[in-house]
Chain A
Amino acid sequence: MNTTQGTAAGSAGRPGTVRVVIVDDHAIFRSGLKADLDASIHVVGEAATVEQAIAVIAQQRPDVVLLDVHLPGGLGGGGREVIAGSAALLPDTRFLALSVSDAAEDVVAVIRAGARGYVTKTISGAEITDAVHRVAGGDAVFSPRLAGFVLDAFGTAPADIADDELDKLSARELEVMRLIARGYSYKEVAKELFISIKTVETHVSAVLRKLQLSSRHELTKWAAERRLL
């Protein structure tokens, strides 16, 4: 999947297997997660602090980093700081945020830093394997809660043509977000809206891009109210 990545230390990875680094300060959680992950996912490194994570990621150049939102070390920025510190690798190495936190500020902060998705730590091994593959393939992973945050932040009114396209979600994107918030899988969303899964993925990626890039007034205000900026 990463044909451009020839310079990586170690093998570039056989097709179908994904090289993953797990970053979490709880050793118990790391080993539990490793045991839960599918055979198609190869854990090449682990880290417990911001500094360790940046070093391991730079050395291993994994396809996906499973990143806890809250981490000790560094300047106290946690997962956000790890992404910022690995910015040079960003197009090839993708980040999936993992958190027990329900706080919008934690979640949206790592997404805006560049993570491709967010899942809660309570999801099953099969689900997280699926999410890792999805992120490795360049898609975004939205949990119902993240979709809820997005709808909260962008508002539930669809964009007019005249609006800056980054500032609001289109009617279709809103529909997709609503269905995800209601607990639909991508497949179910596709079926419900009579579109292909690929189209659903396109919409979700577009929403992720807007969430990362939008500087719209309401989003800034929304973020400021939650002490995100």
Chain B
Amino acid sequence: MTTLPARPPLARSSDRVIAGVCSGLAVHLGWPVKNVRLAMVLASFAGGAGLVFYAWLWIMVPTADEAARRNARRPASPIAPAVSQPGQVPAQAIMSDGGTSAGPAGSVPAGTAGTHGTGGTAGAPWFKVRGMRYGKEILLGSGLLLVAGIMIAQMLGVDVSLGTLIPAAAVLGGASIAWMQLDETRRAGLVDKTKADQAGGWGRLAAGLALVVAGVLVMVSGSGSWEQTWLALLASVAVLGGVVLVLLPWALKFWRDLEAERAGRIRETERAEIAAHLHDSVLQTLALIQRRAGNEHDVVRLARAQERELRGWLFQDPGRESGQLSDRIKAVAAEVEDLLGNAVEVVSVGDATMTEAHEALVQASREAMVNASRHGGGTVSVYLEASDGQAEVFIKDRGPGFDLGDVPADRLGVRESIIGRMKRHGGSAAILSTGNGTEVRLRLPAAAEHAEGKS
């Protein structure tokens, strides 16, 4: 058991005498090849069991090449090491719980592992982990062992009445198949039942039903004539049909109520979330604005900040990945707005993933925005255009303007933080100032980004 995780997958080896079964088995079990071959030969003398086993493995076990190919296509192969199991269980359970309902077929008896937290599942957790993948194999194996045991017992002279055992086994098997189905649907959430892979579900139900009915039939027919059995069968079918007919409307109504209640609950949750958000943001800001009604500057600043926050919440596309260049530019624009109180309007076209050089561009833009807001007064317009080739940012204000030559040499704002920073990162900056306003143009070619990224 302890060596299991390290065990290589069972595959027929290319180092072979006949079909590579023995050497493959040896690799899998970690035994010397010689011993395996010897055991196989010895077993062949025990009623040909070794030969049968060899033939079976030859047919069932893929060659190493095939196994590799299959694993590449389907990483979660049943033969794959069990070490990956514990991590996968919750992921799958959550996935199917979330509504995809496409649980892998091999995970039938997975139980309601954790996600539903129903009482009975708290029991043997190791069984769930192991049973998830190998449940079928274990079930089949124990079934076969049972059959073998019964046969041996019969050979030894114990009287086993097969006439009762086989139908009973059929009933048991059918019932377990049907119950496995129920367990699965419960795991997938009752609501997804309609969407669950219906073909498989119906197939399983039909198989279970057929087995049970056949088992019961055989058991019952043992005690009476065929006509009687048919009559009884007909009667029970009629009774069942009647019950279904009576209960169907009630079941449908129950189902619909369940659906309606679920929809209502979702709506309620959504409403509560919106209310909570509005309370935390808008109501608080409105209260603040009322208290500071005398100070126009503060009111404008509060209103702008709240507007920005609400816009972000309402119009942000949740599917878009965040942390892009445009997000950073918008974030620093918001910062500057909060800092100085003047509106900073950002328009962005295209986007780019952030790099080190982009961060320099963002910082230079921030400096330019601060200058524009402080000296220009009024609204600052920021335009970002990012493409594969380059990223450009334009910061424009409508202030009185200034002459770069007039700026004292010890003032680092424009010269160092904007022009110098852009040059160091392979970009360029130009400042255009007239009496009607100033525009700072920042440009960062993509090639420079890469060069910077390496250094």
- Hey, which bits of chain A sit against chain B, CB under 8 A? 101-103, 122, 144-145, 147-148, 151-152, 156, 178, 181-184, 188
Contacts and interface: CB of A to CB of B under 8 A. Distances in A.
A182 B315 contact: no
B387 A148 contact: no
Nearest to A187: B436
B374 to A, nearest CB: 17
A145 B311 CA distance: 14
B315 A148 contact: no
A101 B345 contact: no
Contact of B383 (A101, A103, A122, A148): A148
Contacts of B387: 156
20 contacts: A144-B345, A144-B381, A145-B345, A145-B347, A148-B347, A148-B349, A148-B383, A152-B349, A152-B350, A156-B350, A178-B383, A178-B385, A181-B349, A181-B383, A182-B381, A182-B383, A182-B396, A182-B439, A183-B383, A188-B436
Given A144-B383, A184-B396, 5 more contacts: A122-B343, A148-B383, A178-B383, A181-B383, A182-B439
Contacts of A178: 383, 385
Nearest to B381: A183
A102 B381 CA distance: 16
A181 B350 contact: no
A186 to B, nearest CB: 14
What interface size band does chain B fall in? 10 to 19
A197 B343 CA distance: 28
B221 interface: no
B349 A151 contact: yes
Contacts of A103: 315
Contacts of B381: 144, 182-183
B363 interface: no
Contact of B349 (A101, A122, A156, A183): A156
Contacts of A101: 315
Interface in B353-394: 379, 381, 383, 385, 387, 394
B319 to A, nearest CB: 10
B348 interface: yes
Contact of A102 (B311, B350, B385): B311
- Chain A to chain B: the 8 pairs with minimum beta-carbon distance, closest first: A183-B381, A148-B347, A182-B383, A151-B349, A182-B394, A183-B396, A102-B315, A144-B347
Nearest to A102: B315
A133 to B, nearest CB: 21
Contacts of B396: 182-184
B345 A148 contact: no
A183 B344 CA distance: 11
Contacts of A147: 347
B430 to A, nearest CB: 13
A101 B349 CA distance: 18
A148 B348 CA distance: 6
Nearest to B383: A182
Interface string B386-421: 010000001010000000000000000000000000
B347 A181 contact: yes
A70 to B, nearest CB: 12
Contacts of A122: 343
A181 B347 CA distance: 7
Contacts of B311: 102
A178 B384 CA distance: 10
Contacts of A184: 396
A182 B350 CA distance: 14
Given A103-B315, A144-B345, A144-B347, A151 B436 contact: no
Q: Which of B311, B347, B348, B439 has the most CB of A within 10 A?
A: B347
Contacts of A148: 347-349, 383
Contacts of B345: 144-145, 183
A145 B330 CA distance: 14
Interface string B107-150: 00000000000000000000000000000000000000000000
A122 B396 CA distance: 18
A145 B347 CA distance: 6
Contacts of A188: 436
Contacts of A151: 349, 385
